[in-house]
Amino acid sequence: MGTHDELRALPKVDEVLKRPELVGLPLPRWAVVEAVRREIERRRQAILGGGGASVERPSAEVVSADVLRLAEELARPSLRRVVNATGVVLHTNLGRAPLAAEAAERVAEVARGYSNLEYDLDGRERGSRHDHLRELLCELSGAEAAVVVNNNAAAVLLTLAALAEGREVIVSRGELVEIGGAFRVPDVMRQSGARLVEVGTTNRTHLADFERAVGAATALLLQVHRSNFAVLGFTAEVGAKELVALGAARGVPVAIDLGSGTLIDPASLVGAGLPHEPTVRQAVESGADVVTFSGDKLLGGPQAGIIVGREAAIARIRRHPLMRALRPDKLTLAALEATLAIYRRGAAHELVPAVRMLAMTPAVLLARAERLAQLVGPTAQVVVAVVAVASAVGGGALPLAEPPSGALAITARDGRGAEALDAVLRAGGLPIVGRIAEGRLLLDVRTIADDELDAVASAVRAL
């Protein structure tokens, strides 16, 4: 058959749409029509590209077989829920912290209707969105004042712009970090209009380095949490209290970017074996003027940047023109308020998912992996085994921690590799993202929710 004949033999859109297997589908009509168009077009291109000989016989029936899969794909939302089976609790690519159930409910409630976002219900006048969380944040952190922005990168940018634009900010060379997604301290500093003054060395910085650098142009001393790396060996760093004492003596404010920021010392999570991490309250108690941290890292809330500290500094930050561009929306505020309310009643260990997952002991996790293995049961296609693994905290928090966990190790009986199995699990209706180690696909149960175990088990059985 020549190219011309082949093109003429392509079925028409209407013809394919009439195929019985495409009638009455539980899929939106536009997706089916679009899928038919694309499938016919794909074959047309194949013919024109000279691959005609290898093209399937392009009947309406043949085309319709591919249409179903494509239409389902087109109809699916792009942003979807997935099962995190990586064991990385704050997985940046998987949306970091899952919200507590009551935080999600508050979001739904506020999202569906109107709210008093900027309305003072007592005075029948205009209110401020920044007032809703102030008391709660002050109570939990011990700070005088607090304000929330879109994320912690925004919190740092705004702090620098409001307190140090056109002037100097002194930072240790050991803390000029890059966080994922191109957040680099020197670049953020440039964007804010502040001038970076680096002191000390990569591994050792002393108070004397800061003392020598403070001058008339100094606006701020900044301490940045190393977050995603560690410096080991011959090291020295200046503590927050020393920095604050120097700032007080020279009349220069101090800011601490905690990065993750936590209200609970991870070392206090009994049985989890996590390292000590200074809390937000400790940073505030050091006397720093400003402390910034994320809402969706160790705190386990929504994406947000939280700024707490002294009234004077927070007032300048609130008034800065950039605030309008960086302010949080009502959904963020609803989720954050509900999350913080859980901390206030001391229930974060049970009710904030990220905290609960980090607090799980190896024994509990291995028992969970056993339960998942039982739910999978014997299958003809794959062999599953319960193995001890190490999870990670993720999200630029506790970079050296490898809390022990339990996982399901999956290998195919038919010789399919771990990559192939992984691809099948990721392509499902509820995608499951595991990790591959030593040729096996691992599903770490630390980050799989209880109500996801059944779905994971049936996906594994169907491999």
Ligand X SMILES: *Cc1c(COP(=O)(O)O)cnc(C)c1O
Question: Which tokens hold the place of 302?
Answer: 């929504």
243 is an interface residue for ligand X by CB under 6 A: no
Q: Which stretch binds ligand X (CB under 6 A): 76-84, 98-106, 150-158, 335-343?
A: 150-158
156 is an interface residue for ligand X by CB under 6 A: yes
Q: Which of residues 245-274 bind ligand X (CB under 6 A)?
A: 257, 259-260
443 is an interface residue for ligand X by CB under 6 A: no
Q: How many residues contact ligand X, by CB under 6 A?
A: 15
Residue nearest to ligand X (CB): 259
Nearest residue (CB) to ligand X, 259 versus 309:
259
Q: Which of residues 162-181 bind ligand X (CB under 6 A)?
A: 179
Nearest residue (CB) to ligand X, 156 versus 313:
156
Nearest residue (CB) to ligand X, 180 versus 377:
180
For ligand X, which residue of 152, 205, 286, 332 counts as binding (CB under 6 A)? 152
223 is an interface residue for ligand X by CB under 6 A: no
Nearest residue (CB) to ligand X, 133 versus 409:
133
HSE-CB of 61 using CA atoms within 13 angstroms: 1
86 is an interface residue for ligand X by CB under 6 A: no
Q: Which of residues 5-64 bind ligand X (CB under 6 A)?
A: none
Nearest residue (CB) to ligand X, 143 versus 156:
156
**Least distance in Å: CB of 226 to ligand X?**
7
Q: Which of residues 383-442 bind ligand X (CB under 6 A)?
A: 396
Nearest residue (CB) to ligand X, 156 versus 341:
156
183 is an interface residue for ligand X by CB under 6 A: yes
For ligand X, which residue of 64, 159, 172, 294 counts as binding (CB under 6 A)? 294
Nearest residue (CB) to ligand X, 155 versus 360:
155
Nearest residue (CB) to ligand X, 32 versus 304:
304
224 is an interface residue for ligand X by CB under 6 A: yes
Residues making contact with ligand X (CB under 6 A): 151-153, 156, 179, 183, 224-225, 227, 257, 259-260, 294, 305, 396
